[in-house]
Amino acid sequence: MEDRFRELEKISQKSRRLIVEMTCAAKSGHPGGSLSAVEILASLYFRIMRVDPENPGWPDRDRFVLSKGHASPVLYSVLALRGYFPEEELMGFRKIDSMLQGHPDMKGTPGVDMSTGSLGQGLAVANGMAMAGKLDGKDYRVYVLLGDGEVQEGMVWEAAMAAAHYKLDNLTAFLDHNGLQIDGANSQVMGVEPLRDKWTAFGWNVIEIDGHSYGEIIDAADEARRVKGKPTIVIAKTIKGKGISYMENAVDWHGKAPSREQADAAIKELEVVCGE
Amino acid sequence: MSDGIATRDAYGKTLVSLGGENDKIVVLDADLSKSTKTVLFAEAFPERFFNMGIAEQNLIGMAAGLAASGKIPFASTFAMFASGRAFEPIRNSVAYPRLNVKIAATHAGLTVGEDGASHQCIEDIALMRAVPNMTVICPADGVETEAAVRAAAEYKGPVYIRLGRSKVPAVFDKESYAFEWGKGITVREGKDAAIIATGIMVPVAVDAAAELAECGINVRVIDIHTIKPIDRELIIRAARETGAIVTAEEHSIIGGLGSAVAEVLCESIPVPMKRIGVRDTFGESGTAEDLLEKYGLTAKNIVEEVKRLFGNKTGKK
């Protein structure tokens, strides 16, 4: 680990611990696809995006749309770590009267820029945010995280076409390409490849990275900022369940909460990695 | 009643004046701008008009994103594709987060005409009023459309405005007309029965009332332009004072105005009622006039139903 990423690594490990704790406490939720996106979310909220947790509705802020809304645990954990709301709130996740809904609710949670959960809709909304920025001559950027199973939704491709047509170069999509969805591997359920060719054909600038490398995530965001006249998609190769040995690449952990014992084992592993 | 214009024409013209007054207004369409009349806005304010192509889900999603960033988007396509194809983006990306999106859906109902059943949306009121946070408006004529579109632009939250393709007679006078959010309008007073109508069926109800007056039956005519939230008070008063209600709408009898009125009456003041609408069947190709005739949406149909209810009420046959 390079020194310049040590702080991010600490945040990621805390985020992973919180994902495990909150899904365990909720007895439900989606740890697998949350864990695969930890480095992306940590990099976005702690390095890449211009945000002010004290002022979540700041009109000039960069926006983030979690189009794969079921990965709410990673978003909530990172928002709490960034200071949008107290960490204690995370233990209310998915419970009655909580501000942390199963899937993100922009009306209830500070820092959530769009309500999502029904797959396929986030990119279109991000388009609209990016378009509004252009109309207002603002320099904010819009980020959206898609799942790889999610791109099976037709609406994603409607939005992909529109983003390129309107040259939304202030829009950057990350594709969390962990290769798994509820019923199994993408390749078995409904093949999504070749992803690079598809997005290129739709008029996007495409970057392929290791989605767990802070350097590659940050460099990709920088490149996206420099590319003019087209939106950028960063296809981030990730490991579903990353960081918890028994969850890694295990399709069963898409939408299943760990038991207390499993959670304790997971946290032990994370402490070893962290050296704490 | 004088000759009028189609409500879609009134919509297109109103958008242009609104566009000049408020630069937050943006308009989106899905390759139907010449038909929905958003083309007028597109010509006047090209930088604030976005054609999405034939992609209604993205149309609504983008409108949601624009609204989330402070714009007031009007998204237009035919009622079939807005309420049908894009139902879920409307539900989850607009209504759930209560974003300030106006869905102005034209070519609603049978009077789409020759295009036939695939394009004749008779379910949109039912679909849209079932969604929490959604307001549903169905204006009767050009004057009411202009007022409704202006009110929708001022209101903060999702609105579904149902518009038609065909010319409709003018019911209201622009000088004296006042649109009140969620308040019906008593177009004609009467004590013997009440016809509660929406959209293009309002002028038809007015014709029916005139015909009934000649037979000595004095019928109240109520225009419910805002189907949700519905004007409970006005409906309950009509039921109390007339004791017989006929609803009329260019929509399925399932889930539309008739259902909404029945819900109010059943819970508060049950009185004999009859719903006039499309009776759980698809339409077909034909002229608007022929379709209204064939599917029972004429003044004659209303007159018959009122007479039947009134006869039952008074014991006269």
Residue of A nearest to B89 (CA): A121
Residues B61, A115: C-beta atoms closer than 8 Å: no
CATH top-level class of A3-274: alpha beta
How confident is residue A2, by pLDDT bands cut at 50, 70 and 90? confident
Q: Where are the domains of chain A?
A: 3-274
pLDDT one-digit tens code per residue, A91-122 = 999 999 999 999 999 999 999 999 999 999 99
B218 contact A CB<8A: no
For residues A240-265, give the mean pLDDT: 96
Cα B9 → chain centroid: 15
Q: Which of B69, B72, B25 is nearest to B48 (CA)?
A: B25
CB-nearest to A131 from B62, B89, B92 is: B62
Proportion of chain B above pLDDT 90, given as a percent: 97
The verdict on a CB contact (< 8 Å) between B58 and A106 is no
B61 contact A CB<8A: yes
Residues of A in contact with B98 (CB under 8 A): 107
Q: Is B229 touching A (CB cutoff 8 A)?
A: no
Beta-strand relationship, B226-228 and B135-137 = antiparallel
Subunit contact B62:A136, Cβ cutoff 8 A = no
CATH of domain B7-162: 3.40.50.970
**Greatest pairwise CA separation for chain B in angstroms:** 64
What is the percent of chain A where pLDDT is above 70?
99
Q: Could you tell me which chain A residue has the CA closest to the CA of B91?
A: A118
- Which ipTM value was assigned to this complex? 0.95
* Architecture of the structural domain at B185-314: 3-Layer(aba) Sandwich (3.40)
Global confidence as pTM: 0.96
What is the Cα–Cα distance from B90 to A96, expressed in whole angstroms? Answer: 25
Residue B288 banded pLDDT, cuts 50, 70, 90? very high
CB–CB of A237/A211 below 8 Å? yes
Q: Mark yes or no for CB contact B57/A158 under 8 Å.
A: yes
Of A118, A123, A158, the CB nearest to B88: A118
The letter for the amino acid at A121 is Q
User: Is the pLDDT score of B95 beyond 70?
Assistant: yes
Contact check, Cβ <8 Å, A126/B55: no
In tens, the pLDDT along B198-214 reads 999 999 999 999 999 99
B56 is catalytic: yes
Catalytic residue among B43, B47, B56, B144: B56
A171-225 per-position pLDDT tens digit = 999 999 999 999 999 999 999 999 999 999 999 999 999 999 999 999 999 999 9
Q: Mutate which of A115, A141, A168, A171 to disrupt the B interface (most B C-beta within 10 Å)?
A: A115
Q: How far apart are CA B121 and CA A119, in angstroms?
A: 26
DSSP character string of A192-235: ---HHHHHHHTT-EEEEEETT-HHHHHHHHHHHHH--SS-EEEE
Q: How far is A274 from chain B (nearest CA, A)?
A: 38
Q: Is the dihedral of CA A128, A129, A130, A131 positive or negative?
A: positive
For the segment B289-315, what is each residue's pLDDT rounded down to a tens digit?
A: 999 999 999 999 999 999 999 988 887
Distance from CA of A158 to the nearest CA of B (A): 6
Best mutation site among B27, B85, B93, B98 for testing chain A: the one with the most A CBs within 10 Å? B93
Domain boundaries, chain B: 7-162, 185-314
Q: What is the pLDDT of residue A272?
A: 79
Q: What is the DSSP code string of A25-60? A: HHT-S-HHHHHTTHHHHHHIIIII----TT-TT-TT
Alpha-helical runs (H) found in chain B: 7-21, 33-36, 39-44, 56-68, 79, 87-89, 124-129, 142-154, 201-214, 232-242, 257-268, 288-294, 299-314
Round to whole Å and give the CA distance between A99 and B134: 22
B50 to chain A nearest CA, in Å?
A: 9
- Say what the pLDDT of residue A271 is: 87
